[in-house]
A and B are shown apart, each in its own frame.
Chain A
Amino acid sequence: MTPMSNVSVTKDAAPAAEDLVVLKNVDKHFGALHVLQDINLTIGRGEVVVVIGPSGSGKSTLCRTINRLETIDSGTITIDGKPLPAEGKELARLRADVGMVFQSFNLFAHKTVLENVMLGQIKVRGVDKKAAEEKARSLLDRVGVATQADKYPAQLSGGQQQRVAIARALAMDPKVMLFDEPTSALDPEMINEVLEVMQQLAQNGMTMVVVTHEMGFARSAANRVVFMADGRIVEEATPDQFFSNPRSDRAKDFLSKILHH
């Protein structure tokens, strides 16, 4: 990118409007394990970034530092121009703006599907019950589980539970959504119903960070693929570049393994 190009000119003019999530020199240890090593990553508004890499490379940890479910040792993380606050009210407010979808769904087991999607709106956003229910029902409809509203999570299939979890996160009107392997706990026939919902979100301009090994999704929905290995970002490229022409040996090695089974 040359300083003369249009892209960098607009970036210089309004950097805050472009960059939604910025990680700078982020380091984290789990005891002796250096799980995140000097991570620099910028996610633009409306961008969909897929994070890929071998097991134990730090993908989940990276995802979880963005809403501070994991603290970092050094470096900075800013969201929409504001640095991540420490514990307390400020942090809770920020987390409400960052939606998170977990591998194991984590729907509240003692609450109905509808209550799961209403809870955050009422308790965090202070929305009144009626409005919260209306919004919850329309979100459940959007992810295709409207008929399950009064059931408990355990009565739903994995794919349905994960779609409810997405609706629960969307109910907070998040600025960015984090997905940590949202389909890897699912039976194969349910993966697509979840990916389709995510696909739609991406098309509607949601900013997304998605840890996944679903290459189909990466190719069709992602603006960028970030490849991690041993706590480092080894490669960043467009999905096409990355899957057909990876530069690093680690990425080549990794891709040959996931492509051959």
Chain B
Amino acid sequence: MFDFLESGQYDVLGAFWVTVQLTFYSAIGSLIWGTVLAAMRVSPVPLMRTFGTVYVHVVRNTPLTVIVMAASLGLFQTLGITLTGSDDFEVIGFRLAVLSLIAYHATFVCEALRSGINTVPVGQAEAARALGLNFSQVLSLIVLPQAFRAVVTPLANVLIALTKNTTVAAAIGVAEAALLMKEMIETESDAIFLVSAMFAFGFVVLTLPTGMLLGWVSKRVAVKR
């Protein structure tokens, strides 16, 4: 049944490995940049708040494909920004894809975190200020740790969406799972259903444990009040 795999001409695991790497780097970047954006949106400095708000609204409402294409055509082909010393198209494409995925998913991380910040009673921040902690200490030591614990589940959802959204990297030629699937569908047209099912299964294998693990973490770290 899976005889199209036996030719050894398709590196399915290799393609999924690229998907995993795209997901991994983008997830870390989104978490960091999303946290910075959330901090901006609650900061007392009006300019930062405005930047955070405008960024989130513009980027969140732009289709991811458009962002990836803009990174490829705009940053790379027009401005020559490669994010790497290498002139290997594969490396350049990978980095631009990660950049785009971070830019996009950070907005969802930011909004999830902001809803988490809203679950932290004002008294927590007031008590911290009353001790003499400054704004960034109040945020990083008291408010954000509690906010993160409250939004593990929404963040898991962002991570699952991110895993699946890595497929847009195919649009700029990154050899991840979706690009291979497109190739295989073209050449193995008699096994379209099987090929699709295999890739669908691959993504479920990646996302299901993530969801379950983070569901468990969410219960463990919940703040009791």
Which chain A residues have a beta carbon within 8 Å of chain B's beta carbons? 67, 69, 87, 89, 92-100, 102, 104, 106-110, 119-120, 123-124, 152, 154-155, 165, 168-169, 172
Given contacts A92-B132, A95-B131, A100-B130, contact A110 B123 (CB under 8 A): no
A36 to chain B, nearest CB (A): 18
A102 touches B132 (CB 8 A): no
B123 touches A124 (CB 8 A): no
A95 touches B124 (CB 8 A): no
Find chain A residues with CB under 8 A from B224 CB: 109, 152, 154-155
B225 touches A120 (CB 8 A): no
Find chain A residues with CB under 8 A from B121 CB: 104, 106
User: Of A93, A109, A165, A172, which contacts B146 at CB under 8 A?
Assistant: A109
B223 touches A120 (CB 8 A): no
Given contacts A109-B124, A110-B223, A123-B141, contact A96 B146 (CB under 8 A): no
B133 touches A123 (CB 8 A): yes
B182 to chain A, nearest CB (A): 46
B142 touches A124 (CB 8 A): no
Which chain B residues have a beta carbon within 8 Å of chain A's beta carbons? 44, 121, 123-124, 126-134, 137, 141-142, 145-146, 149, 223-225
B135 to chain A, nearest CB (A): 9
B149 touches A106 (CB 8 A): no
User: Of A69, A109, A168, A172, which contacts B225 at CB under 8 A?
Assistant: A109
A106 touches B126 (CB 8 A): yes
Of B44, B128, B131, B149, the most chain A CB neighbours within 10 A belong to: B131
Of A98, A108, A110, the most chain B CB neighbours within 10 A belong to: A110
A169 to B130, CA, bound (A): 9
| Chain B, Cβ-Cβ closest to A125 | B132
| Chain B, Cβ-Cβ closest to A165 | B127
B142 touches A108 (CB 8 A): yes
Find chain A residues with CB under 8 A from B134 CB: 89, 92
Please give 17 more A-B residue pairs, beta carbons under 8 A apart, in addition to A110-B223, A152-B224.
A69-B129, A87-B44, A89-B134, A92-B133, A93-B132, A104-B121, A104-B123, A106-B124, A108-B124, A109-B146, A109-B223, A110-B146, A110-B149, A123-B141, A155-B224, A169-B131, A172-B131
